[in-house]
Amino acid sequence: MQEFLQYVFSGVTNGAVYAVIALGFSMLYRATGLINFAQGELVMLGALCLISLWQGLGLSLVLSIVLSVGIVSGVGIALERLAMRQVRKPHPIVLVIITVGASIFFRGIAMILWGKDARSAGPFSSNVPLEIAGATLLPQSLWVLAIMLGIVAALHLFYRKTLTGKAMEACAINKKAAWLLGVPSDRMVLLAFALSAGMGAVGGVLIAPITMSSYDMGTLLGLKGFCAAMLGGLGSSWGSVLGGLLLGILEALGVGFFSSALKDAIAFMLLLFILYVRPTGILGARAVHRF
């Protein structure tokens, strides 16, 4: 039982990170109907930026986090302005390949800037593990969970309470109608990219103290985040949380009770399973269905 709980704890921690990445996917999909194949690389950039700023340059943790998120959001904006916006005929293939190209590009840049070595970051606060029901929980896990919930709350407020958020929802549901009502859909798309990139960065910031970060961590994380988003229902915030946590726990249990080689395979098999059986996810995807 204690073992089981231990797996759940570690699973929830990873799961919360997956959830944050999934939220990035969901939000972009909700606002634009697009899926950004470079999302994983944005997470990677967030992680490596944090490590360089915080451990490398010695800046304060808060400043490092803010700068990392800012830089990566900027990258997201650049991606939208310089690449996505330039496309004349938005056939799904074209958009997929562009974001795939972007992901490879980011990888390449990361390899040049940070080399091939894996780096680590220290925990945000202490490293003293907490004991709960015989299993240990690192304080870092609590940070991860807290920030994840914070993001969900912020998103909820954004969509429900702010004018911008409601405008984005309107764009998602009916671009033309929203435009007629004066909502600048171009700006909304840009904002969506910036926000989802920012969320990717937060995911990276959260995962940096947990595992080793390197230039090629993005692909796997991106896929897992996407899997979590699909699992819960693409476009749904709570779905992303549910999917992320579920994936994290299943992974941990799989590793614990079967073999560690299975860890990554679980996410992919789950992804294929969802795509086959229930593409709308557990909570059901939103009505936005562009591609």
Partner 1 sequence: MPGPFTVSEVSDGIEMLIRNLLFAAAILLLGVGVKNPYHLELLTFIGIHTLLALGLNMLMGYAGQISLGHAAFYGLGAYATGILTVHWHWSPWISLPATLALAAAVALLVALPMLRLSGFYLGMGTLGFGMIGFILFRGWSSVTGGDSGLVGIPSLAVGPFTFSSGVRYFYLVWGTVFVSFILCERIVRSRVGRALRAIHDSEKAAAAMGIDTSRLKISVFVLSALFAALAGFLYAHLVSFVSPSSFDFLVSVRIVTMVVIGGMASIWGSLLGASLLTVLPDWLHVFSDYEMLVYGLVLMVVMIFLPQGLTRGILDLYERSRNRREGRSPSA
Residues that bind partner 1 (CB under 8 A): 34-35, 37, 83, 86-89, 91-98, 100-109, 111-112, 219-220, 223, 226-227, 230, 261, 264-265, 268-269, 271-272, 275-276, 279, 291
Supply the minimum distance, in Å, between the C-beta of residue 119 and partner 1: 18
Supply the minimum distance, in Å, between the C-beta of residue 115 and partner 1: 10
Supply the minimum distance, in Å, between the C-beta of residue 40 and partner 1: 10
Q: How far apart are CA 245 and CA 227, in angstroms?
A: 11
Supply the minimum distance, in Å, between the C-beta of residue 147 and partner 1: 26
Tokens at 244, concatenated = 């992320």
| Closer residue to partner 1, CB minimum distance, 183 or 270 | 270
Helices (H) and strands (E) in the chain, counts: 11, 2
Q: How far apart are CA 38 and CA 31, in angstroms?
A: 17
3-class secondary-structure state, position 72: helix
Sort 56 into a burial class: Cβ within 10 Å, 0-12 / 13-18 / 19+.
middle
Supply the minimum distance, in Å, between the C-beta of residue 53 and partner 1: 23
| Closer residue to partner 1, CB minimum distance, 146 or 269 | 269
| Closer residue to partner 1, CB minimum distance, 40 or 209 | 40
| Closer residue to partner 1, CB minimum distance, 85 or 160 | 85
Whether 192 contacts 27, CB under 8 Å: yes
| Closer residue to partner 1, CB minimum distance, 31 or 137 | 31
Supply the minimum distance, in Å, between the C-beta of residue 83 and partner 1: 5
Q: How far apart are CA 288 and CA 291, in angstroms?
A: 9
Q: How far apart are CA 271 and CA 203, in angstroms?
A: 20
Whether 204 contacts 255, CB under 8 Å: no
Whether 223 contacts 267, CB under 8 Å: yes
Whether 120 contacts 104, CB under 8 Å: no
| Closer residue to partner 1, CB minimum distance, 63 or 87 | 87
Nearest to 99 by CA among 178, 236, 200: 200
| Closer residue to partner 1, CB minimum distance, 14 or 103 | 103
Residues facing 131 on adjacent strands: 136
Supply the minimum distance, in Å, between the C-beta of residue 177 and partner 1: 23
